[in-house]
Amino acid sequence: MKQSEFIQSVIDKLEDMKARDIVTIDVDGKSTITDTLIVCSGNSKKHVSSIAENLVVEMKAANTPPLSVEGKDTGEWVLVDLGNVVVHVMQDATRDFYQLEKLWQ
């Protein structure tokens, strides 16, 4: 699967769970950790955790399990590391505070 197809499949899974304001950031050459960041918002702690959990389940089913998942317990900001793609699922207040889009663009 091409990188662009992989990214779109991740976005589709986020949209399935009603993630909002999905932004893709190309960090190839800016980061040694990953090539692409995907940032999205959830409405509540439960929603953020559910979006991330569904992504984990779907990626495992597609034989591309995450390398790690961080923050699922708090639900403020959940990071799902898929290798070349790192997904940040955040509540609005947390997203506004850290402003990852400004940091990386």
> Which CATH number does the domain housing residue 12 bear?
3.30.460.10
- Closest of 72, 66, 103 to residue 89, by C-alpha: 72
Residues 6 or more apart whose CB falls under 8 angstroms from that of 74 comprise 45
Per-residue pLDDT tens digits for 46-84: 999 999 999 999 999 999 999 999 998 889 999 999 999
Q: Please state, in angstroms and as integers, the Cα–Cα distance from residue 45 to each residue in 19, 74, 80, following that order.
A: 12, 7, 15
The dihedral over CA atoms of 89, 91, 94, 100, expressed in degrees to the nearest 10, equals 40
Q: Is the entire prediction scored with pTM above 0.75? A: yes
Per-residue pLDDT tens digits for 6-25: 999 999 999 999 999 999 99
Q: What's the domain count of the chain?
A: 1
Residue 25's pLDDT is: 94
Provide the domain limits for residue 99. 3-104
